Structure 1
Amino acid sequence: MAVDQNLSNFSDLTFRTALVVYVVALFMSLYYYGRMQTVIDARRAGEADQAAEDFARKLGGMLQGLIWLGIIIHFAAIVLRGLAVHRFPLGNLYEYVLTVTAGAMAAAAIAFQRKEWRTLWPWLLTPILLLMFYGGTKLYAESAPVVPALQSYWLPVHVTVVSLGASIGLLSGLLSILYLIRRANPRGEESGIGGLIAKPLPTAKKLDQLAYRTAIITLPTLGLGIVLGAIWAEAAWGRPWGWDPKETVSFATWILYAAYLHARYTTSWRKAAPWINVLAMATMIFNLFFINQVVSGLHSYAGLN
């Protein structure tokens, strides 16, 4: 079928609109972060200001609402792209980044419903905006049919599952980074610039628990995505596994998430566990960009040529 250029243009417009909404949300979240620092300082000094706390609470609610608006627009861009090309919008790297960033934002919005988690938004919005900007500029591909190798019902099944796992994995890795920052600056013992940055964050225990819970979802989801990819590879290439660069790094990422979950409950490895989770996230990002764009393999469908 021919590409519906009008819907494609609307998809691009909604993508840019979501980007703008997220930028506004980032500035609002930074302001909220600063207000929470002031509120915390007042509480610790025994000079709590109820009006200031009420304002901060309302600001946090407005921030959450604005982010949900951005997520709705973000998903609208995905749907419109799919309708424009008459297929699932997962056929090139631009569409994959579009989907992964939307998934990460939705997962975070669900996880950050409680007020104490809303100070985490600047930490997530910053990398999401960088990914979206890079995806919308350097990785952008015009709406078009996919290459013959991707014209399969396995495309939406395999890539959707992998996208979901990647979205939640990004969130888990970020939470481990914040846990490390908070662990170095325990609540009530903050000092220096690191302490100033860490002050509005939840406790290290809560950050560690949420990182763990999201990794529990990431591990089987990525594992299922790898298995589905192997089934598709058997049908498409006559073999389920061939140690293609994409397959190899994906498997290594899954191993690292498994290692993180194991290390977290192993006394001698407990302190290293969050670093393993961060490494797993870094490996996944390496897979997303370097393997897709630089290394040649059977999975080279970035859509950049």
Structure 2
Amino acid sequence: MTAQTFSSLALVTSVVIYALAFSMHTVEWASARKIRADKISLDATDTEAAAVREPALVGAADATSPDRVERVDRSGPAARSPQSPVDRLGSDQPEPLTARQRSETFGRMGVSLTIIALACAIAGVVARGIAADRWPLANMFEFTTMAMVIIVSAYLVLARMGMRWLGLPVTLLATVGNGLAVTVFYVAVAPVVPALHSVWFFIHITAAAVSGSAFNIGGLITILYLIKKRAEDKGTVGAVLGRLPEAKRMDVIAYRVLAFAFPLWTFTIAAGSIWAEYAWGRYWGWDPKETWALVTWVIFACYLHARSTAGWKGARAGMIAILGLAVFWFNFIGVNLLFAGLHSYAGV
């Protein structure tokens, strides 16, 4: 088996396992609806048990009462429900998992599957680099698979910090991203064009992959923030959205991630300009890729400015961030497929 074949198999396997992880997180979120129902049922059971114990306590206190024995008898095993906590304490059978425990179990399974899928994806990316004998970021296929590795790795770090609620959108993104890579964007290993034989290729494309991954994570958090804020404003936060932090906190997290990505994207454009001078003899030429990279920069600059403006904080700024993410994806996919330019070598 060649390194290229192994890379393809590992990446296809990662797509399947990411899909399974997404399914586990979907069940985790869906089971959250039963947590409140379980709590209500448990409260009712505790009330019933208290009512069962009350006659026995009365009978014990009234020792001189002629019907003491009768009252004690009513609190015996015949009067107790077989599902009461008193019976379960003496039972050797394990109690069924509560809705909260089931939700937690599915969430942990989702994280475990995500780790396995990430390992497969990393193996695929490394094998691709070995097969190509270069840094595997020369086309849309390689850029996408590398970006998904960075996004999922960042998510797993955030999950250790209590942000496992990102598992559902991240595993969906990884499934779709790697799925498109192995089906639509795939190209066989081939020698790169002379313009890519530069150290600035490594610097520029790596910075683009890292900043683009941060834009995606910040965008996903922003989307969840807008959904949660809308529910909070309407007072309709249910058990499912209750799994998310407060909207204000999510807004702050998204801002910090996007504020981290913006200077990296600025460096990406600057490094690309230096690379353009090395490859084509000019720093800037309004190539479609360069133009839309600048448009992306301007939109996220507007987002950061809006965050510091009182009238544009919150949902309005969040909409600008989502627009910036959409433009980023158009720059990555749409420009490559719809326009011809000096970056055409990066197409599918």
Task: Flag whether TM exceeds 0.5 (same fold).
Answer: yes
Per the alignment, residue 149 of structure 1 pairs with 195
How much does 1:43 deviate?
5.1
Per the alignment, residue 17 of structure 1 pairs with 13
Amino acid at match of 2:330: F
How much does 1:50 deviate?
8.0
Q: Percent identity?
A: 33
Task: Pick the structure with greater CA Rg.
Answer: 2
How much does 1:259 deviate?
1.4
CA distance in 1, matches of 2:41, 2:346: 54
How much does 1:42 deviate?
4.4
1:207 aligns with one of 250, 258, 261: 250
CA distance in 2, matches of 1:212, 1:176: 8
Corresponding position: 1:123 with 2:169: yes
Corresponding position: 1:88 with 2:138: no
Q: 1:37·1:199 contact (CA, 8 Å) conserved in 2?
A: no
How much does 1:264 deviate?
1.3
Corresponding position: 1:68 with 2:115: yes
Amino acid at match of 2:235: E
| SS across alignment from 1:88 | coil
Q: 1:50 to 1:164 in 2, by over 3 A?
A: same
Amino acid at match of 2:16: V
Aligned positions, number: 296
Corresponding position: 1:78 with 2:125: yes
| SS across alignment from 1:301 | helix
CA distance in 1, matches of 2:39, 2:271: 52
RMSD: 2.3
How much does 1:197 deviate?
5.6
Corresponding position: 1:32 with 2:28: yes
Q: Note the alpha carbon deviations across 1:223-276, whole angstroms, 9 max, x for none.
A: 111111111111111111111111111111112112112211210111410001
Per the alignment, residue 55 of structure 2 pairs with none
Q: 1:190·1:196 contact (CA, 8 Å) conserved in 2?
A: no
Q: 1:176·1:274 contact (CA, 8 Å) conserved in 2?
A: yes
| SS across alignment from 1:186 | helix
How much does 1:201 deviate?
2.5
Per the alignment, residue 185 of structure 1 pairs with 231
Corresponding position: 1:288 with 2:288: no
Where does structure 1 lack aligned partners over 5 or more consecutive residues? none
How much does 1:17 deviate?
1.0
CA distance in 2, matches of 1:284, 1:36: 34
Deviates more, 1:210-219 or 1:148-157: 148-157
CA distance in 2, matches of 1:211, 1:219: 12
Corresponding position: 1:113 with 2:192: no
CA distance in 2, matches of 1:199, 1:44: 17
CA distance in 2, matches of 1:197, 1:207: 16
CA distance in 2, matches of 1:33, 1:205: 21
CA distance in 1, matches of 2:18, 2:257: 23
Q: 1:61 to 1:254 in 2, by over 3 A?
A: same
Q: Note the alpha carbon deviations across 1:75-122, whole angstroms, 9 max, x for none.
A: 11111100111001111111111111221111222222244x323322
Per the alignment, residue 274 of structure 2 pairs with 231
Q: 1:163 to 1:40 in 2, by over 3 A?
A: farther
Amino acid at match of 2:196: L
Deviates more, 1:254-263 or 1:269-278: 254-263
Per the alignment, residue 262 of structure 1 pairs with 305
TM-score by structure 1 length? Answer: 0.89
